[in-house]
C-alpha cells in the first residue's frame, strides 16, 4: 500500500510545525515540502517531522523561478538547486523535485539553446546530488505552468540526453489531463522510473470533483508494481490553479476535500 503525503504549498501554512501538524491531522503519512530552502532550517524541519512520526518524502521548491527571467543563467539555476539538495540532505529527505528547472531557460535565444542549458544543468546537479546521496526526480508539468517538458515523451528524451538512469519521474493526474492523450498508457510506459504520483482532479480539486478516471489510473499504477509515495495536491476549484485558503470556511472545505480523497484512494487500495 502506498504511503500518502501532501504537497505543502496547497495548505497555505508557512510555519513548519503547524504545517506538519495539519498534514498529520488530515491522516497523511508525510509531506512533500514545497518551501523555499533559504527561508527554513532543514535540521529543525527534520526534528519536527520526526517528533510527529511524519516522513519528509521530498524537497520541492515551489517558488523556484529566477526573480528576473531575462537574467537567468545556468550558474544561477545550479546554485538554487544545489541549495535544495543540501536542504534535502540535512532534512533527511530522499529526493529533490525539479518541477521548475525549465523556468531558468526562458531567456535562451532559441529552443536548442534552452534544451542544452537544461541538459547541462541536470548533469551537473545529478553529479552533485549523487555525492550527497540525494536522488533527483523530474516532474512533468502542463504547458500553462512551465516553458519546457510538458509530456512524458519530452521528459524521457531529456533524461536520455542527460544520460542518467537514476533520475526518477513524477507524474501528476492534473498535468497529464492537459497534455497527455492517454494518461494510463503513460503510467505503464513509465514503469519502474516512476518515483511518485500526484492526486489532483481535472479541475485541481479532490478525487471525483472532475472527470479523471482514478480507478483506471490506480489500476495502471498497480500494473507496474508502483510502491512509491502518492501526494495529494488539491486546490479548491474556485481557487485554481495555485491559490490557497483565504479564510476559515475555505480551509475547512479544503480539509474535507483532502480527507475525502484520502479515504477514496485508500479504499481503492483495498479493492485491487
| Tens-digit pLDDT profile for residues 40-95 | 999 999 999 999 999 999 999 999 999 999 999 999 999 999 999 999 999 999 99
- Predicted local distance difference test score (pLDDT) of residue 271: 59
Q: Which residues are paired to 271 by β-bridges?
A: none
- Predicted local distance difference test score (pLDDT) of residue 131: 98
Task: Give kind and range of the element (H or E) at residue 175.
Answer: helix 173-179
Distances (CA, A) of 270 to 151, 208, 236, 266: 30, 18, 27, 7
Cell of 142: 502542463
Long-range CB pairs of 20-23 (<8 Å, 24+ gap) are 20/48, 20/49, 20/52, 20/54, 21/52, 23/54
Q: Tell me the average pLDDT across 237-265.
A: 95
Taking 80 as the threshold, does the pLDDT of residue 11 lie above it?
Answer: yes
Length of the chain: 272
Please check whether residue 195 is in contact with residue 221, taking contact to mean a CB–CB distance below 8 angstroms: no
Please check whether residue 109 is in contact with residue 139, taking contact to mean a CB–CB distance below 8 angstroms: no
CA distance 121 to 164: 13
Residue 9 CB neighbour total at 10 angstroms:
21
Domains and CATH numbers, the chain: 4-271 (3.20.20.150)
Total-model pTM: 0.96
71's CB contacts (< 8 A; 6+ apart) are 107
Taking 80 as the threshold, does the pLDDT of residue 174 lie above it?
Answer: yes
Please check whether residue 152 is in contact with residue 175, taking contact to mean a CB–CB distance below 8 angstroms: no
Q: At what angle do helices 111-131 and 152-162 cross, to 10 degrees?
A: 70
Taking 90 as the threshold, does the pLDDT of residue 198 lie above it?
Answer: yes
Taking 60 as the threshold, does the pLDDT of residue 272 lie above it?
Answer: no
CA distance 186 to 104: 26
Amino acid at each position: 500500500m502506498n504511503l500518502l503525503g501532501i504537497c505543502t504549498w496547497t495548505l497555505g501554512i508557512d510555519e513548519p510545525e503547524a504545517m506538519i501538524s495539519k498534514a498529520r491531522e488530515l491522516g497523511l503519512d508525510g509531506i512533500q515540502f514545497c518551501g523555499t530552502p533559504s527561508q527554513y532550517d532543514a535540521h529543525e524541519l527534520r526534528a519536527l517531522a520526526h517528533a510527529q512520526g511524519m516522513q519528509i518524502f521530498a524537497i520541492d521548491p515551489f517558488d523556484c523561478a529566477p526573480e528576473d527571467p531575462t537574467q537567468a543563467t545556468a550558474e544561477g539555476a545550479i546554485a538554487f538547486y544545489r541549495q535544495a539538495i543540501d536542504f534535502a540532505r540535512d532534512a533527511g529527505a530522499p529526493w529533490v523535485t525539479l518541477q521548475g528547472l525549465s523556468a531558468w531557460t526562458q531567456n535562451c535565444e532559441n529552443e536548442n539553446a534552452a534544451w542544452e542549458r537544461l541538459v547541462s544543468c541536470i548533469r551537473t546537479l545529478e553529479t552533485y546530488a549523487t555525492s550527497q546521496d540525494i536522488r533527483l526526480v523530474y516532474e512533468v508539468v502542463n504547458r500553462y505552468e512551465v516553458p519546457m517538458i510538458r509530456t512524458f515523451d519530452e521528459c524521457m528524451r531529456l533524461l536520455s540526453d542527460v544520460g542518467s538512469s537514476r533520475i526518477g519521474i513524477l507524474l501528476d493526474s492534473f498535468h497529464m489531463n492537459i497534455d497527455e492523450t492517454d494518461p494510463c498508457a503513460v503510467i505503464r510506459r513509465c514503469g519502474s522510473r516512476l518515483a511518485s504520483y500526484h492526486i489532483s482532479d481535472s479541475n485541481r480539486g479532490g478525487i471525483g470533483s472532475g472527470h479523471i478516471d482514478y480507478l483506471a489510473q490506480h489500476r495502471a499504477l498497480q500494473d507496474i508494481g508502483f510502491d512509491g509515495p502518492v501526494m495529494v495536491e488539491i486546490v479548491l476549484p474556485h481557487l485554481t490553479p495555485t491559490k490557497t485558503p483565504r479564510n476559515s470556511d475555505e480551509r475547512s472545505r479544503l480539509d474535507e476535500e483532502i480527507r475525502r480523497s484520502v479515504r477514496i484512494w485508500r479504499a481503492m487500495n483495498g479493492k485491487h
